[in-house]
Amino acid sequence: MASRLVSDALSLINAAREELELEPLRYLPKGLRQNALSCPLSQALDGLPVLEDRVMVGSDAGALALARAWETSCRWNRNEEAWEVELPDALKRFVKALDRGRIPKLVEKRAHRRSVNS
């Protein structure tokens, strides 16, 4: 189950990275559980905050690129002054599993951030 979650997440992250004109990843980086700025998905998206069901994006172009890659919706959040892009269901499942400790191989043991694919 966890390996399927990881492979599905990697495919969706690489689709987003392609739309953002970033190089694809060979694997998801390790990160911290329950941390919007340091989770594996955030690190794979160059530090964009990833919440349980959405990612926060500062630019119009970035938000539209993610929504296009994932075929999801986006909306402006006035309080945060950022775009909220809905995560596809597979990424929502990934975040939930990671936060519950079900993907231990992607949890960073130390509190520092690692660079992507290092």
| Distance in angstroms (rounded) separating the CA atoms of residues 32 and 113 | 9
Is 90 exceeded by the pLDDT of residue 94?
A: yes
Among residues 102, 107, 104, which one has the least CA distance to residue 1? Answer: 102
- Place 109 in a pLDDT band, splitting at 50, 70 and 90: confident
Determine if the pTM surpasses 0.85. Answer: yes
pLDDT tens per residue across span 10-35: 999 999 999 999 999 999 999 999 99
